[in-house]
Chains A and B, each alone.
Chain A
Amino acid sequence: MEKRKTYVEDLDRGLYDIRNEDRYSFKVSSGLTPEIVEEISREKNEPQWMREFRLKSLEIYNKLELPTWGPSLDELDMDNIVTYVKPDTSLKGSWEEVPEDIKNTFERLGIPQAERESLAGVGAQYDSEVVYHSIREELVEQGVIYTDMETAIRDYEDIVKEYFMKLVPPNDHKFVALHGAVWSGGSFVYVPAGVKVEIPLQSYFRLNSPGAGQFEHTLIIVEKGAYLHFIEGCSAPKYSVTNLHAGCVELYVKEDAYLRYSTIENWSKNMMNLNTKRAVVDKKGTIEWVSGSFGSKVSMLYPMSILRGEGAKAEFTGVTFASKGQILDTGAKVIHAAPYTSSNINSKSISKGGGEAVYRGAIKVAANAHHCKSTVSCESLMLDDISRSDTLPVLDILNDEVDIGHEAKIGRISEEAIYYLMTRGISEEEAKAMIVRGFVEPIAKELPLEYAVEMNNLINLEMEGSIG
């Protein structure tokens, strides 16, 4: 069969790109000094220990160097990123009270509707602060806490102090140090022992202000035998200046507990997404990551699971779609730090229009982690010959009683498959979209329905105009 060039149009981001007027009540000047950090802390009326923590993180930030690997971050000019933008509204418990333009943004993104239909609780963050938070009454009665981080520090100071940035310490890397200094907003979830939160909780992050950074902190503690599904969504309209997202997610999964953490990230394509996510899992606990990366200009995101209790499990299912102008460097890290732990990583990536998709992963098996099992599977699909797709896994094993496997495949859409579908009366464009949908199907089926639908829509939009 004759080879033909495929031309694929860029995604019409439509509703994600609608931006609101930049209204705010408080904004610190660009750049980063101890004064700015103190200003943020003062504005938030924080306890002394948090103020000191911020200043110490800033010191570490100034000492650490940028990563010596991965995509170039030259474009990032920290002196021009506004670290803290407080929207012109305070935290609301009722949707009606949220200002019109902010409310419209979330309405367009389908958040309140999703809440009515399929969520147990919702948090919405606009720029640096959480503007809306709600949780179902019956969960509150069972002792479930779902609130914004600022409220959590005020009302549950002891718990926050015990866990905050203990799993991801500020000296981990430069952007975590930055996060420690200027973090703002985010969600706090506490599920008491034995409580099963049957329907998902969701937080949605929206960055509206140009040249701003979003540094939300998510802290989730799932106590012994408890169960939770948490969904995180992110987006921002596109401005000509570079925005920075350096969030931090810390997940504590206790004995026999289960946590599923799903993310659909669709930041605009001027966003530097340098996010850090980490989970620590105790005896027989389970962490499941479901991760979709579609947006941002540069992403460096590798959720880490530390399996420290015997029999703990980690699962990672991820899809990355890199289009024109994007470098999406994503993957997963697992540390097997106890016997009988297991992990399963399944990553799929698609690149087109000059986009670069990178899978970067690491599996480490500590010397004491006998009888652990790990399988890693990476598949990459290239839709044209101007894009890139790289697979960079590392396996580091210090114990012989293990069963570890890694495999990766790279290639294009099979022409036979397209030809076959076309002989059945399906257009070439539709045939390709079908194949791509089939490729990401294992991930789509792990997502809540409305997200799976959204992902399919994104793919259809991406594939539109792929004329033979």
Chain B
Amino acid sequence: MSEILKGLNNIPVRTWRWLGVNETNLKDKMPEIGEYYLKPLSKYEGEGYKVIDINKNNSSIRFFDNKKELGVSETLTEIVTKNFNTGYLIEVEENKRIAEPLFFDYKMDSSNSILVDNNLIVAGENSEITVVMKYSSTKGVEAFHSGLTKLYAKKGAKINLVKVQLIEDDGIHLDAIAAATEENGEINCVLVELGARNTITSCKNDLISENSKGNIYSIYLGDKDRTIDINYVINHYGKKSESNIKTNGALMDNSSKIFRGTIDFKRGAKEAKGAEEEYTVLLSNNIRNRSVPLLLCGEDDVQGQHAASTGKIDENKLFYLMSRGFSELEAKKLIIESSFNPITEKVPIEELREEISEYIRRRMINV
């Protein structure tokens, strides 16, 4: 089983090996997948949608089954889609706009330490839904999470998926999102990746038809020996399709991060627009910060851009806050938190927002 956690988060186009960004390998072994007994959702039905437990009925979950590279790796995708121990199918009826967000609280504790979730959200034509998935673990438990969440937005539909990952320090988190968006559809992914010893996260969205939109907003926080490995891919097939990737992060202590962000304009994606922006604040000289913003283009009538920047905390801001009576530590925390705010604000549940903010503050004790 030791080879399973190798060759993860493959970059769409390979480059020099000495930079170590083509793929990621974990030293850990894949654990035995046992049962997961917890119920992450309190309410399974509501006006305009239904939630089906995948263990009871998984016949209709076969979306994108012909596509291999939709997850963290082909091997892991196969494991998750065949050997999952939990997961849900969420179906939204046509023309229904679900105002209340659905909240899945995936917890890992001593008797449920392995979580392998396989989820699918299908939004019918002109419907709208917001789904929040939180991943957390009990302290002292060697939590292992590997999951795949597939999203399918039909014509004019909108899916907002918010993932909040607050797993404790000894956990492993391997999470993938695979999405496809039809004409006039929109998929927004908000990814708050704060915990776990190793975070490997993948988010791929195919904008298959005209006017489809795909956005990814994410934050991460590296401290101690944490590693964060990101692979975002947006494929523009549809005319006038639009995408936006925005990632903010901070690295402290001995943490390291690889960000791969790809915007791929396929031939025929006329008048498509794609933008990508990544910003990293560095707070220690033992970090390693790698960024690979790829822009691939087979169509001339597009507008694409990317920008990545990295540096120390803004000294002017720091000085200003300190002159207002904040200690250096408080001022740093404030600056980092405020750089996360545009993204954490998108989390639609207030208690969860507070929990995130509390969690961040707790983590930045020795900035």
Binding site for B on A (CB under 8 A): 3, 68-70, 360, 362, 364, 367, 370, 380, 382-412
Stretch touching chain A among B12-20, B52-60, B70-78, B225-233: B12-20
- Chain B residue total in the interface (Cβ 8 A): 44
Pairwise interchain contact B310-A404, C-beta atoms closer than 8 A: yes
**A153 CB → nearest B CB, Å:** 31
> Which residues from A are CB-within-8-Å of B15?
69-70, 360, 362, 392, 394
Given contacts A387-B300, A395-B290, contact A407 B311 (CB under 8 A): no
Residue from B19, B297, B301 whose CB has the most chain A CB atoms within 10 Å:
B297
Pairwise interchain contact B290-A396, C-beta atoms closer than 8 A: yes
Pairwise interchain contact B293-A397, C-beta atoms closer than 8 A: no
> Which residues from B are CB-within-8-Å of A402?
282, 310-312
- What are some 15 contacts across the A-B interface (CB < 8 A)? A69-B22, A360-B15, A362-B19, A367-B286, A385-B268, A385-B298, A385-B299, A388-B296, A391-B294, A394-B291, A395-B290, A397-B289, A407-B308, A408-B293, A410-B305
Pairwise interchain contact B303-A411, C-beta atoms closer than 8 A: yes
Inter-chain pairs besides A385-B268, A402-B310, A412-B300, 19 sampled, C-beta below 8 Å: A362-B19, A367-B286, A382-B299, A382-B300, A385-B270, A387-B300, A390-B295, A391-B306, A394-B292, A395-B290, A395-B291, A396-B289, A399-B285, A400-B284, A400-B285, A404-B311, A406-B291, A407-B307, A410-B265
Pairwise interchain contact B310-A395, C-beta atoms closer than 8 A: yes
Residue of A nearest to B277 (CB): A407
Pairwise interchain contact B300-A394, C-beta atoms closer than 8 A: no
B21 at the interface (CB under 8 A from A): yes
Q: Which of A364, A370, A404 lies in contact with B285, CB distance below 8 A? A: A370
Pairwise interchain contact B297-A395, C-beta atoms closer than 8 A: no
Pairwise interchain contact B308-A397, C-beta atoms closer than 8 A: no
Q: Which of A383, A393, A397, A401 lies in contact with B300, CB distance below 8 A? A: A383
Given contacts A385-B300, A403-B311, A405-B307, contact A396 B294 (CB under 8 A): no
> Which residues from B are CB-within-8-Å of A406?
291, 293, 306-309
Residue of B nearest to A412 (CB): B300
Given contacts A382-B297, A406-B291, contact A394 B283 (CB under 8 A): no
> Which residues from A are CB-within-8-Å of B298?
385, 387-388
**A448 CB → nearest B CB, Å:** 32
**By DSSP majority rule, is chain B's interface helix, strand, loop, or mixed?**
strand
Question: In whole angstroms, how far apart are the Cα atoms of A142 and B265 in the complex?
Answer: 56
Binding site for A on B (CB under 8 A): 13-17, 19, 21-22, 251, 265, 267-268, 270, 282-312
Pairwise interchain contact B308-A385, C-beta atoms closer than 8 A: no
Pairwise interchain contact A69-B16, C-beta atoms closer than 8 A: yes
Pairwise interchain contact A364-B300, C-beta atoms closer than 8 A: no
**B155 CB → nearest A CB, Å:** 25
**B315 CB → nearest A CB, Å:** 11
> Which residues from B are CB-within-8-Å of A401?
285, 312
Pairwise interchain contact B305-A404, C-beta atoms closer than 8 A: no
**A61 CB → nearest B CB, Å:** 18
Pairwise interchain contact B302-A68, C-beta atoms closer than 8 A: no
**B285 CB → nearest A CB, Å:** 5
> Which residues from B are CB-within-8-Å of A393?
292-293, 308
Question: In whole angstroms, how far apart are the Cα atoms of A359 and B286 in the complex?
Answer: 30
**B162 CB → nearest A CB, Å:** 28
Residue of A nearest to B289 (CB): A397
> Which residues from B are CB-within-8-Å of A370?
285
Question: In whole angstroms, how far apart are the Cα atoms of A409 and B277 in the complex?
Answer: 12
**B280 CB → nearest A CB, Å:** 8
Question: In whole angstroms, how far apart are the Cα atoms of A410 and B300 in the complex?
Answer: 8
Pairwise interchain contact B282-A409, C-beta atoms closer than 8 A: no
Question: In whole angstroms, how far apart are the Cα atoms of A391 and B262 in the complex?
Answer: 10
Residue from A397, A400, A408 whose CB has the most chain B CB atoms within 10 Å:
A400
Pairwise interchain contact B294-A390, C-beta atoms closer than 8 A: yes
Q: Which of A385, A387, A399, A410 lies in contact with B304, CB distance below 8 A? A: A410
Residue of B nearest to A388 (CB): B298
> Which residues from A are CB-within-8-Å of B17?
68-69
Pairwise interchain contact B297-A380, C-beta atoms closer than 8 A: yes
Question: In whole angstroms, how far apart are the Cα atoms of A406 and B310 in the complex?
Answer: 9
Residue of B nearest to A389 (CB): B297
> Which residues from A are CB-within-8-Å of B290?
394-397
**B224 CB → nearest A CB, Å:** 16
Residue of A nearest to B280 (CB): A397
**B125 CB → nearest A CB, Å:** 30
Question: In whole angstroms, how far apart are the Cα atoms of A359 and B79 in the complex?
Answer: 36
Residue of B nearest to A302 (CB): B16
**A327 CB → nearest B CB, Å:** 13
Question: In whole angstroms, how far apart are the Cα atoms of A69 and B297 in the complex?
Answer: 18
Question: In whole angstroms, how far apart are the Cα atoms of A405 and B293 in the complex?
Answer: 12
> Which residues from B are CB-within-8-Å of A407?
305-308
Pairwise interchain contact A412-B305, C-beta atoms closer than 8 A: no
Pairwise interchain contact B309-A405, C-beta atoms closer than 8 A: yes
**B220 CB → nearest A CB, Å:** 15
Pairwise interchain contact B292-A69, C-beta atoms closer than 8 A: no
Residue of B nearest to A411 (CB): B303
Question: In whole angstroms, how far apart are the Cα atoms of A84 and B133 in the complex?
Answer: 65
Question: In whole angstroms, how far apart are the Cα atoms of A382 and B295 in the complex?
Answer: 13
> Which residues from A are CB-within-8-Å of B295?
380, 390-391, 408, 410
Q: Which of B292, B293, B312 lies in contact with A400, CB distance below 8 A? A: B312
Residue of A nearest to B291 (CB): A395
Residue from B15, B288, B302 whose CB has the most chain A CB atoms within 10 Å:
B15
**A359 CB → nearest B CB, Å:** 9
**B44 CB → nearest A CB, Å:** 45
Question: In whole angstroms, how far apart are the Cα atoms of A411 and B306 in the complex?
Answer: 12
**B134 CB → nearest A CB, Å:** 31
